[in-house]
């Protein structure tokens, strides 16, 4: 993720597409909290997202359905 963000032009938005488990690990890393099953993406399938800033890595939103 760091390599992708460093290579991207600063004026563009980036979407990182990954398995929910990878997203859970990234979200916990960005929030500076230990790895656990807490903060799993919600729902019974389907896609979810969260938003963070670059380069500050500040989490702007937790999990949200992409269908909303």
Which residues make beta-bridge pairs with 22? none
Beta bridge partners, 49, equal 64
Res 4: pLDDT: 86
User: Whole-model pTM?
Assistant: 0.78
- Reported as a single tens digit per residue, the pLDDT across 29-67 is 999 999 887 767 776 667 889 999 988 899 999 888 887
Burial class (CB in 10 A: 0-12, 13-18, 19+), 25: middle
Instruction: Tokens for 35, please give them.
Output: 């790895």
Of 58, 61, 1, residue with least CA distance to 25: 1
């Amino acid at each position: 993720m760091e390599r992708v963000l460093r290579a991207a032009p600063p004026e563009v938005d980036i979407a990182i597409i990954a398995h929910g488990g990878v997203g859970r690990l990234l979200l916990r890393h960005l929030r500076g909290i230990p790895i656990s099953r807490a903060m799993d993406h919600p729902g019974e399938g389907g896609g979810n997202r969260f938003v963070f800033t670059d380069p500050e890595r500040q989490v702007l939103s937790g999990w949200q359905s992409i269908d909303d």
